[in-house]
Chain A
Amino acid sequence: MSISLNGGGMHNEHAFGDTTDEELISRTLENPEAYEHIMARYEPKLMRYVLRLAAFSKEEADDVLQETFIKTYQNLNEYDRSFKFSSWIYRIAHNEAVNALRKMNRSPRTVESEEQERIMERLTDSLDLEHELDNKLHREMLLAALEKLDRKYRDVLILKFLEEKSYEEISDILQKPVGTVGTLINRARKQLQQKIRHA
């Protein structure tokens, strides 16, 4: 197997722009160099997702992503085309992030700075929290509430409101029934509102 380290597809950037994930997988199975195009497509999205899941350092997030891409490559033949590839690779990234947290013996914390601001805005809009927040006048309360949320609730909120995934996609990423995803989102919303009220 011969793989170029300087990005074999760099000159074909636009040639692969419209190529579907499934086509890229087929190409990768024939020629491993094509895998770089799958990584290029998903690296920014997965990096953002991993950083949203927990307050990883840049190096830790890099490690999680590397492991994600290696696992994905190793299991390319397991990919079932009746699923969306993006859901499948998000699932692998999610599991790798959770494993990394476990190894570090660390619980997920809310991320900081600009990303935090974005999370606040989207959650405030999406979860009808304006009323509570207007009354309390403290965005910190939402932050504190988010930090106190159970991880299963944080996970669905991040996927639904930040990654903007559909219920079916969240179901495939977290490997839970669609109905359970809906229930988790409702409970997450209620738990968040409750924590804000009691903050």
Chain B
Amino acid sequence: MHNSSIRNNVLKQIRERGIEPTARWKFVLKNIVLWIIVLVSFIAGMLAVSTLIHTTKTIDWDVYRYLGRSFAGHAAIVFPYFWFAIIALFATLAYAVIRVTKKGYRHTKLALVAAGIFALVIAGSGLYALGMGEYIDETLSSYSNLYTQLPNHKINIWSRPEEGLLSGTITRIVSNNKFTLKDFSGHAWTIEEGDVRWRRGSSRRVGTKVKLIGLQLDENVFVVNEVRPWTAPPLPKVK
């Protein structure tokens, strides 16, 4: 082994600059942190998929005719872009982090993306079946103003009494054909029932959240023709 100037320089620098191998635990910790980010992103993605399924299934695709829109125009507005964006955000984060893990580069983009989509759809569907999507949607709707301010949030779709769409919570049963309702802005309404169709899952009970289709008579009175449940009716039991 001859004495190389490169080797001598390296050894000299190591000595003079006090360079030492970075401790193993730092690399182990870095790996753990990376995989925690992947795990958290995956869980967030799963929850977002379950909520996306819930919100997509509970979209009232047919109300476009009350809003003077075409079906395609209505679909383009009510589609749950927010949850798609959340899924894309966490999926991209998980993908980017997996790529920088020690062996992440060994998988092709296509394989990682396909495996990620497959896993998210399966796990997200499972969580949806357990009611997680509905829980998240309802919780955010109750506690997050930002969430309910999304233009395609169902509160905004169903808060257009002048166009025949109203929603809120039943506050009092006045008679057989009249009840009162507080909408999501806190405004009190008297609801007069004409020839009403009560959709499956909707209930004429105080405290129940409902969606109404009908006609606004004046500032506080709304004649209802159809009542729908605020949340999706429970899935029919499998016999």
User: Are A and B genuine complex partners?
Assistant: yes
A contacts, CB < 8 Å to B:
1-7, 9-10, 13, 28-29, 32, 35-37, 39-40, 43, 62, 65-66, 69-70, 73-78, 80, 171, 175-180
Picked from B6, B13, B20, the residue with its CB within 8 Å of the CB of A1 is B20
Asked if B235 is an interface residue, CB under 8 A from chain A, the answer is no
Q: List 11 A-B contacts (CB under 8 A).
A: A3-B14, A6-B8, A36-B11, A39-B10, A40-B4, A40-B7, A62-B5, A77-B24, A77-B27, A171-B105, A177-B107
**Would you give the shortest CB distance from A127 to chain B, in whole angstroms?**
25
Q: With A77-B21, A171-B106, A177-B108 given, is the CB distance from A39 to B7 under 8 Å? A: yes
- Residue numbers in B under 8 Å from A171 (CB-CB): 105-106
Q: CA of A4 to CA of B7 in the docked complex: distance in angstroms?
A: 11
Looking across the interface, which residue of chain B has its beta carbon closest to that of A37? B1
Looking across the interface, which residue of chain A has its beta carbon closest to that of B105? A175
Q: CA of A45 to CA of B23 in the docked complex: distance in angstroms?
A: 28
Which secondary structure dominates where chain A touches chain B? helix
Looking across the interface, which residue of chain B has its beta carbon closest to that of A46? B6
Q: CA of A169 to CA of B230 in the docked complex: distance in angstroms?
A: 59
Asked if B187 is an interface residue, CB under 8 A from chain A, the answer is no
- Residue numbers in A under 8 Å from B107 (CB-CB): 177
Looking across the interface, which residue of chain B has its beta carbon closest to that of A176? B105
Asked if B70 is an interface residue, CB under 8 A from chain A, the answer is no
Q: CA of A180 to CA of B108 in the docked complex: distance in angstroms?
A: 8
B contacts, CB < 8 Å to A:
1, 3-15, 18-24, 26-27, 102, 105-108, 111
- Residue numbers in B under 8 Å from A13 (CB-CB): 1
Q: Nearest 4 A-B pairs (CB), nearest first?
A: A175-B105, A77-B24, A76-B21, A78-B27
Q: CA of A108 to CA of B25 in the docked complex: distance in angstroms?
A: 38
CB atoms of B106 and A177 under 8 A apart = yes
CB atoms of A7 and B108 under 8 A apart = no
Most buried by B among A32, A171, A178: A32
- Residue numbers in B under 8 Å from A32 (CB-CB): 14
Q: CA of A143 to CA of B23 in the docked complex: distance in angstroms?
A: 46
**Would you give the shortest CB distance from A61 to chain B, in whole angstroms?**
9
- Residue numbers in A under 8 Å from B9 (CB-CB): 62, 66
Looking across the interface, which residue of chain B has its beta carbon closest to that of A168? B106
Q: With A3-B15, A73-B10 given, is the CB distance from A40 to B21 under 8 Å? A: no
CB atoms of B108 and A66 under 8 A apart = no
- Residue numbers in A under 8 Å from B4 (CB-CB): 39-40, 43
CB atoms of A43 and B11 under 8 A apart = no
Q: CA of A10 to CA of B108 in the docked complex: distance in angstroms?
A: 45
CB atoms of B21 and A74 under 8 A apart = yes
CB atoms of A1 and B15 under 8 A apart = yes
CB atoms of A65 and B19 under 8 A apart = no
Looking across the interface, which residue of chain B has its beta carbon closest to that of A17? B1
Picked from B6, B12, B106, the residue with its CB within 8 Å of the CB of A62 is B6
CB atoms of A10 and B3 under 8 A apart = yes
CB atoms of A70 and B10 under 8 A apart = yes
CB atoms of A9 and B21 under 8 A apart = no
**Would you give the shortest CB distance from B231 to chain A, in whole angstroms?**
45
